[in-house]
Chain A
Amino acid sequence: MEPIISVNNVSMRFNLATEKVDSLKEYFIKLTKGSLKFEEFWALNDVSIEVMPGDFYGLVGLNGSGKSTLLKTIAGVLKPTKGSVTVRGTIAPLIELGAGFDMDLTARENIYLNGAVLGFSKKFMDEHFQEIVDFSELHNFLDVPLKNYSSGMVARIAFAIATVTDPDILIADEVLAVGDYTFQQKCEKRMKQLIDNGTTVLFVSHSIEQVKSLCNKATWLEHGKIIMSGDAQTVCDEYSKRY
């Protein structure tokens, strides 16, 4: 079977400008003086993972270990400096919910806009509009500008839109930490449902217990390098021993 996601020797470099150069004049002055320095920072260093269809794949590591960067290269947001990423299938990114919401627009308008951002067609959105509204339970507030919403309500719509398709791959970065308890339950249920339908999940969480209970495979990242990859149980146990 072919892996649904293959990350091959990916490295990601960021330039941390030691002195922030924001204007052309400064740039040329610095350039002529030869003092245009960049401090290189490798957020990912030669990372390779393979995710098979149907996997529930966990990523563990401390803050700044490169988990989110890795997810972003997979989602296509970042292009790796070295190496390649191949994804065979559609992705529903739950990286940061509500990207592309415009607070001045109403919920109804935002549902369409956000759907468009995720690459859905108008026909698809028309067909699934009711489903999104039902899931997020916002019937009475559809024509209210989003800026009058609470953050929990915004998160609900975002989750509902992002999971309305049956994506091949679901990228979830600590999303389950939003909303009240009942909504969290609902999100988990929806994710379970997706997995039963054969969706592959890439999951990032700081809760090692959550990773252990949900995932079958895991990778442990530290300072942009893979420390360990493999069976979720083993990786999590090793990780727990260390911290």
Chain B
Amino acid sequence: MKPRSLTRRLIGGVLLAEFLCAATFSGVAIAHEMHGRRRAFDVMLRGRADSLMGAVQDAEDPDDNVMVDPTELTLPAEDAYAVANPAGRVLGHSPESSPELLAVLESAYPDGYFNFKVAGKSYRALRTPGMRVIDREEKKGAVRCPVTVLYAAPTAHLWHETVEAVRFYVIAGVLLLVVTGLALVWLLRRWLSPLRELAERAGHVSAQAWGFVPPEAALHTRELQPIASSIQKLLHGLRQSFERQRQFTGDAAHELKTSIAVLKSSLQLLSLRPRTVEEYQGGIEEVVVDTERMEDLTERMLALARLEEAPVRGREPVDLALAAQSVAERLRPVAELKQVPIEVTVQNALPVTMPLDDAEILCSNLMMNALQYSSPGSGIAVRVESHAGVTMLLVEDHGEGIPVEALPHVFDRFYRADVSRSRNSGGAGLGLAMCKAIVERCGGTIEIASTPGVGTQVKVTLPAIV
């Protein structure tokens, strides 16, 4: 389908409305003028008929009481008239009129005005009764002679005169139509330019070029402002999520490439020259450890991708306290080795809706982090408690803490708070990102507070099942 142009439709609509206006105005003006002229015409007809009455005179003929003597009348030559007596006998008529015209005029029309056409010419006529009082002999008294006066005049000039009179208005109307039409085209183009600009800018957006700055004009137009700002917001959001995705892919590639580089260089080093059995064995053991690390990294990345994309499947209630206790039990050997005891306190803990595996990953990641950054002799306090419809999991350590500038980024994927010990401390920087994904998936929140040198506290809040 051919796209419809808003500008064209608007201009077309307005021009049509203007044209109709002008046409109606001209029509009304013509009708009004015509009406006035017709009335004047009728008055003129009656006037002429009356003056014709004046020409009805006594007749010499005793039978014909009256006769018409038009010699003293000055009537237009194209007019036709006739005077008849009640018996229908024509007493006199216009001398130059054609017989057809007179025949039509004299046919039996009722009294009053009437129209007719003869030989292509329109006529309006008046049939009016008159009375001629004749006082030929005074002693006899006056003789009253009734007559019928018929008078017709052509109407062709009426229309012509009307048009002549209205012509000024019609021409002015047409001129106005043209001028306002042109002005409208110009104005509409001008007024609609923010829309065109917006469309043009939006048209430049592509997967490669995300940049979209709405034109100033569009932002200052009430109707366009919501569209412009929502496009901007949408693109911004998309761009951010796209950037995050790209960042993740880049980071994941970096991690995997580094892991592969370790494996590859280890194996190539072994084959650089012939070695003893012990050297080979040592090398193979190292490679196995490296492979396990890579496996762990891959698993974590896939787990994170799963957590961030798939919605929660089951809605089974899980006891967070139980999960925390079992994870603490599992981590006991590590905790003992690091001399950092983990103490779990449970207070009126209500269950939450979360897959059991996720609950365990959450507890384990938080506790492992706490263990990693705790110095020997300090302790880790884990509390699970419920009140006001929420279940809270608090993990508090007295370790080295997180620098203030790193705090906003700790939930970012592959972010390592302490870069200088990054790789040697083991993690790939995915632990807290996973925690965040798990918690947010279940409608909860996770917060972290830390004071360097004092310790770190992670607070997880989840909606409880009452």
Do A and B actually bind? Answer: no
